Amino acid sequence: HKYEIVKRLQARKHICGMTGDGVNDAPALKKADIGIAVADATDAARSASDIVLTEPGLSVIISAVLTSRAIFQRMKNYTIYAVSITIRIVLGFMLLALIWEFDFPPFMVLIIAILNDGTIMTISKDRVKPSPLPDSWKLAEIFATGVILWREYLGWATLEKTAHDDFRKLASAIYLQVSTISQALIFVTRSRSWSYVERPGLLLVAAFFIAQLVATLIAVYANWSFAAIEGIGWGWAGVIWLYNIIFYIPLDIIKFLIRYALSGRAWDLVLEQRIAFTRKKDFGKEQRELKWAHAQRTLHGLQVPDTKLFNETNNFSELNQLAEEAKRRALNCSVFFPLKFYQHEWGSSN
C-alpha cells in the first residue's frame, strides 16, 4: 500500500518523501523522491533510503540540511573565485603582452599563484551562511562573475608608456596590485550580501593578511635580477593599496547587478511590467507564488478559490474582522457541542 500511495502521488506531479524502518518499507523508500530511514532501521531500509537518521526524530534533518548547504556554499565560493582568478591571470597578462607589449616576469606569476593557493585552502574552514533556499551551481552566474571581475588591474598597464625605462619597478607595482586585489576578491565572491557585512573566518583573514604582507615586502624591498623586479618603496606601495581599496568598493555592486541580470527577475520586469526595477518586496515574490499556486491547482484539477483574502486591495481592518468572526464561531462551537452532548446523555438516562 505504501508503494502504491507514493506511486500515485508522483503520478500527480507531487514530490514525495517517505519514512520507514522495516523491510516492508524498502520498496516505498526506494520509489520515493526522498527516502528517509529512521533510527534503528533495518539494513534493507537503510540501503533503499537517501537519508539515514542516526538519532530518534526528524529534527536531525535540519542539522543535516544546514551542514550540507554550508559545504555547498564553500564549494561554490571556491569555484567562483577560481574562475575569476584564472581569467584574471591568464587573460590579463595575455592582454598586457599583446596590447601593451609588456612582458610580465613569469617568476612573479608563480609567486602570485603560490600565495593564492595558500589563501584558497582556508576557504574549507571559512564561516559561511547557508542558503535559505535550495541552491544550484548557476554556471552562468559563476562564469559571468569571473569574466567581469577580472579587469581592475589593467589600468596600471597604461603606465608602461610613460615608464618604459623603469621596467623592473613597473613590474613590481603590477605584481603588488594584482596580488592584493586578486586575493581581496575572495571576500566578494564568498558573500551573498555586502562583503563587509558577512564576517569571514579567522583563518581566512589571517591567511589573507600574511600573504599580502609577504607580497608588499617583496614589492617594496626585492631587487631580484633573475625575476626582473626592483623595489618601489613604501610610497608607491601605499598608492597601490589606496588604488585597490577604492576599486574594491564597487565590486559588491557589480556582483549584485550580475546576479540580478541573470536571475530572470530583470527580464520578467522588463517584458511583463515594462520597468527595469521595482520597489516590491523581494521583486514581487508573493505575487509570483500566488500565480504559481493558481497554476498548480489548475494543473491538478482542483477548484480555484474565489476568495479575495490576499488581494492587495484588502486592508488590515477587513482581515481583523474575518479573524474575529472565525474566533466567535469557534467559541460558539466549543460551547454548543458539550451542551448537545449533555442534553443527549441526560435525556437517555431519563
**Span 237-252, pLDDT tens digits:** 898 899 888 888 888 8
Q: How confident is the model at residue 150 (pLDDT cuts 50, 70, 90)?
A: low
Amino acid at 111: I
Q: Is residue 66 within 8 Å of 130, Cβ to Cβ?
A: yes
Residue 110 Cα distances to 104, 117, 155, angstroms: 11, 11, 22
pLDDT above 50: residue 345:
no
Strand partners of residue 20: 37
pLDDT above 50: residue 342:
no
The CATH classification of domain 67-191+200-251, taken from the options 1.20.1110.10, 3.40.50.620, 3.30.70.3450, 3.90.950.10: 1.20.1110.10
Neighbours of 49 (CB within 10 A): 24
> Left (φ > 0), alpha (ψ -120 to 50) or beta: where does 282 sit?
left
pTM for this prediction: 0.60
State the pLDDT at residue 213. 92
Same CATH topology for 2-58 and 67-191+200-251: the answer is no
Amino acid at 212: Q
The model's pLDDT over 252-302, given as tens digits with 9 standing for 90+, comes to: 887 777 777 766 555 555 555 544 444 455 555 666 666 766 676 666 555
CATH topology of domain 2-58: Rossmann fold (3.40.50)
What is the domain partition of the chain in residue ranges? 2-58, 67-191+200-251
The backbone torsions φ and ψ at residue 325, rounded to the nearest 5 degrees and listed phi first, read: -65, -40
More confident residue, 88 or 71: 71
Q: How far apart are CA 279 and CA 350, in angstroms?
A: 70
The model's pLDDT over 202-214, given as tens digits with 9 standing for 90+, comes to: 888 898 999 999 9
What would the mean pLDDT of 217-221 be, rounded to a whole number?
90
Q: What's the mean pLDDT when you consider all of the chain?
A: 74
State the pLDDT at residue 337. 44
State the pLDDT at residue 344. 46
